[in-house]
């Protein structure tokens, strides 16, 4: 014979299973939407945050299993780790190969690199920083050249930047001692799952190690107009030298 207390308990468990099922389906659907959205950071964060909130009910109630406070905290932490792992898997990234080179100091020593877009969407204005060091002043010794990838040429192309210091040092106009120096290679566009090659040339002198920092990129180009150039540099650099060239083919 089922008592009233037992009936109420069964009803609560039934309602809990229904809510768990609804929350689980909603979070799964939200997670699947992630694969149809543009793979840019803001969309990924919004989608995974929504999926995490929708499925938090399931984690807190231990997916209808007998729950205790330690179990609830354990399920919630595991739940957050799973969402973070999914975000790491789908997060867009540019892979640079090789990630580090060692110049021996020979005159006009050149290394070849490739930047691969490991995502299914176009990326624009890719900026690949290479840390040169501190107090080097190699802005006239290092140069970069991006190999054309078949895109229509622009009237003005920025090849690379040589940047000093950190942004926010107001009132400082000249280069300071012991400022970090970074060579930033600029790639206009990389197709989905595609690669673009570039070279870095060192005029020579003492040995030099170059290692790239994580690249950054824009989800869409700043301007589709071939007559407009973007001279800004993303990141926390205070001042930069711009190396650009005019493309005669684009002017015809």
Please state, for a pLDDT cut of 70, what percent of the chain lies above it.
66
Same domain, 25 and 137: no
Residues 118 and 65 in one domain: no
- Say whether both 127 and 72 belong to one domain: no
Domain boundary among 57, 90, 123: 90
Owning domain of residue 85: 4-90
- Do residue 81 and residue 110 come from a single domain? no
54 phi-psi bin (left φ>0, alpha ψ -120 to 50, beta other): alpha
Q: Indicate whether 124 and 232 sit together in one domain.
A: yes
Q: Which residues pair with 196 in a beta bridge?
A: 115
Tell me the β-bridge partners of 130: 183, 212
The verdict on 188 and 76 lying in the same domain is no
pLDDT, residue 12, reads 60
Same domain, 32 and 118: no
Last residue of a domain, one of 55, 90, 125: 90
Give me Rg for the CA atoms of the chain.
Answer: 26
- What pTM was estimated for this model as a whole? 0.62
Looking at the fold, whether 47 and 114 belong to one and the same domain comes out as no
pLDDT of residue 227: 43
Token couple for 124: 């624009």
Average pLDDT over residues 156-172: 71
For 24, the token pair is 């689980």
Average pLDDT, the chain: 76
Q: Are residues 120 and 202 in the same domain?
A: yes
- Of the candidates 213, 201, 222, 195, the one whose C-alpha atom is nearest the C-alpha of residue 127 is 213
DSSP-assigned letter for residue 229: -
**Looking at 63, 90, 117, which one is the last position of a domain?**
90
- Asked which of 4-18, 43-57, 144-158 is least confident by mean pLDDT, the reply is 4-18
Q: Do 154 and 105 share a domain, yes or no? A: yes
- Cα angle, residue 34 at apex, residues 17 and 77 outer, rounded to 5°: 50
State how far the Cα of 199 lies from the Cα of 210, in Å rounded to an integer: 13
Residues 24 and 139 grouped into a single domain: no
Q: Are residues 240 and 228 part of one domain?
A: yes
Two structure tokens written together for 207? 């040995």
Is the confidence at residue 47, as pLDDT, over 80? no
DSSP 61-105: TGGGS---HHHHHHHHHHHHHHHHHHHHHHS--EEEESSEEEE--
Higher pLDDT, 71 or 131: 131
Q: What is the residue-wise DSSP string for 136-181?
A: ---TTTEEEEEPP-SSPPPSEEEEEEEEES-TT-TT--S--TT-EE
The total domain count for the chain is: 2
- Distance, in Å, from the CA atom of 225 to the CA atom of 105, rounded to the nearest integer, reads 40
3-state SS class at 60: helix
Q: What is the pLDDT of residues 116-152, one digit of tens each?
A: 988 777 888 888 999 999 888 898 999 999 998 878 7
Tell the burial category of 195 from Cβ atoms under 10 Å away from its Cβ (0-12, 13-18, 19+). middle
């Amino acid at each position: 014979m089922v008592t009233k207390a037992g009936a109420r308990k069964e009803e609560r468990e039934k309602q809990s299973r229904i809510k768990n099922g609804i929350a689980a389906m909603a979070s799964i659907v939200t997670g699947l939407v992630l694969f149809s959205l543009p793979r840019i950071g803001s969309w990924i964060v919004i989608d995974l945050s929504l999926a995490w909130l929708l499925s938090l009910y399931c984690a807190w109630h231990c997916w209808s299993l007998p729950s205790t406070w330690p179990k609830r905290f354990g399920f919630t932490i595991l739940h957050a780790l799973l969402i973070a792992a999914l975000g790491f898997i789908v997060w867009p990234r540019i892979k640079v190969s090789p990630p580090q080179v060692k110049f021996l100091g020979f005159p006009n020593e050149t290394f070849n690199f490739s930047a691969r877009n490991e995502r299914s969407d176009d990326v624009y204005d890719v900026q690949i920083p290479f840390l040169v060091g501190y107090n080097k002043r190699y802005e006239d010794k290092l140069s970069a050249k991006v190999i054309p990838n078949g895109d229509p040429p622009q009237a003005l192309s920025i090849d690379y930047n040589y940047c000093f210091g950190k942004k926010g040092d107001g009132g400082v106009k000249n280069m300071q001692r012991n400022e970090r120096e970074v060579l930033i290679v600029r790639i206009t566009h990389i197709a989905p799952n595609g690669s673009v090659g570039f070279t870095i040339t060192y005029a020579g002198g003492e040995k030099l190690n170059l290692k790239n920092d994580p690249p950054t990129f824009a989800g869409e180009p700043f301007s589709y107009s071939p007559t407009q150039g973007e001279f800004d540099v993303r990141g926390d650099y205070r001042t930069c030298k711009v190396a650009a060239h005019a493309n005669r083919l684009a002017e015809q």
